[in-house]
Amino acid sequence: MQALLTWWSGHQRNVVWRDATDPWVILVAEVMSQQTQLDRVNQRLSSFIAQFPTAEALAAASRTQVLAAWSGLGYNRRAVRLQDAAQRIAESGWPRDAKGLQELPGIGPYTAAAVASLAWGEPVPAIDTNHRRVLSRWVGRPIGGTELADFAKFLIPVDKPAAWNQAIMDLANAVCRPEPRCGQCPVTAWCADPTLYVRPTTQPRFVGSTRQARGAILRSLVNRSHSFDSLVETTSLPSGQLSAGLSSLVEEGMVVSDQDQWRISD
């Protein structure tokens, strides 16, 4: 264990919430990081936390304020789910552990483990595809499911779970990448098969997508309501793509139509 932790002490990525112990700051950072580049999260986290310093503050905000604060981070559904989780915390208090965190809306096992280990020192491994790739290479074959969870639990030091989870993540990002840089690796002795890797999933095409339309629509609607024609003008989207974006936002309850005017739901 120590070889990886020693390497990590000198190779930590620049993450602005690295020393945070406030579960709210860690939760927001982890949700933002799910589908947004680290540099952008580093730039935006402080202002989001300044505006919503607690779960209660986000819970009390209007949907428009939340989406405006999230603007530019992409995948706006995350902001809505984060507010849903904040409302649950405001009503019932913080859960006590990773298992309880997973019962909050939109919080999966990885995020729950990251928050619980960093904020509360709970020895739960934060397993994502990066963690899986590293441990599979150590074992020498692709592992998943219960086998992966049991192995990760066996490895995590009970007295340093936050450092361990971050060390695995940083090793996976800097060294044990899909194309590994084994010459820089501090733990080659643990590794059974450096040639083994899980291909990263390719991002779906963005231009012309419903996701692109959703972002453009919400950017327009956080300022004021619009008719369909006005949205065509302000978003510069083809009407078919605009319709698909609106339908998907309506389906999720983020946008409503009122007397031919589209607006963000209350």
| Residues designated catalytic | 30
Q: Which stretch binds ligand SF4 (CB under 6 A): 2-10, 120-128, 172-180, 230-238?
A: 172-180
26 dihedral zone (left: phi>0; alpha: psi -120 to 50; beta): alpha
**Helix 109-120 / helix 161-174 crossing angle, nearest 10 deg:** 130
Nearer to ligand SF4, 100 or 142 (CB): 142
143, 135 in Cβ contact below 8 A?
Answer: yes
Using CB under 6 A, which of 175, 254, 255, 264 touches ligand SF4? 175
If the CB atoms of residues 178 and 240 are measured against ligand SF4, the closer one turns out to be 178
Q: What angle do CA 29, 33, 39 make, to 5 degrees?
A: 95
Let me know if 171 is exposed, middle or buried by CB neighbors in 10 A (0-12, 13-18, 19+).
buried
Scanning 12-20, 88-96, 175-183, 246-254 for contacts with ligand SF4 by CB under 6 A, the matching segment is: 175-183
CA–CA distance, 121 with 21 (Å, rounded to integer): 9
Nearest approach in angstroms of CB 156 to ligand SF4 is 17
Which residue, 20 or 191, is less far from ligand SF4 as judged by CB?
A: 191
Q: Which is it for the CA torsion 139, 112, 178, 168, positive or negative?
A: negative
Q: Is 176 in the site for ligand SF4 (CB under 6 A)?
A: yes
Name which of 101 and 135 has its Cβ closer to ligand SF4. 135
Site string for ligand SF4, 179-198 (x = CB under 6 A): -x-x--x-xx--x--x----
Residues that bind ligand SF4 (CB under 6 A): 134, 137, 175-176, 180, 182, 185, 187-188, 191, 194
